[in-house]
Copies of this chain bind each other. A is one copy, B any other.
Amino acid sequence: MSTELGDLAARLRAFAEARDWGQFHTPKNLAMALAGEVGELVAEFQWLRPDEDLDPEARARVVAELGDVTGYLVRLADVLGVDLLAAAHAKLDQSEARYDVSTYRGSARKAPPLPPG
């Protein structure tokens, strides 16, 4: 894990251990917690029109929810022993090979089921 993500993981681990919450932090439970936070995040955008931005209150909630999502994701990866950055770069390697620029330029529809980020 990277230094910065590793520092966050270490802080989350200490937080859980001080409260004896490691017993709750199984991969299954943490995946559920992550899903719950992502549900809250999605809800902030659900009625937004394409030409609309988040208002300041909604944006503040989104930042807080991104913090929650990041926290649970990093904690889950730490419990599983997975390097998130390595996993993300490996997927991006695959995506660069799969979605060649000339074929997919400007089209999301040619790339079933989804164009990766």
Which residues of chain B come closer than 8 Å to A76, judged between CB atoms? Answer: 66
Q: Mark A87-116, 1 if CB is under 8 A from B, else 0.
A: 111111001100101001110110011111
Complex CA gap A32/B35 in Å reads 9
- A residues contacting the other copy or chain, number (CB 8 A): 85
Copies in the complex: 4
Among A8, A32, A77, A85, max chain B CB count under 10 A is at A32
Measured CB to CB, the closest approach of chain B to A117, in angstroms, equals: 4
Are B77 and A91 neighbours in the complex by a CB distance under 8 Å? Answer: no
Complex contact A43–B114 (CB within 8 A): yes
Interface centre among A4, A12, A24, A46 (most CB of B within 10 A): A46
Which residues does chain B contribute within 8 Å of A31, judged by CB atoms? Answer: 32, 38, 41-42, 44-45
Q: Which of B15, B92, B105 contacts A11 (CB 8 A)?
A: B92
Cross-chain contact of A39 among B37, B57, B96 (Cβ < 8 A): B37
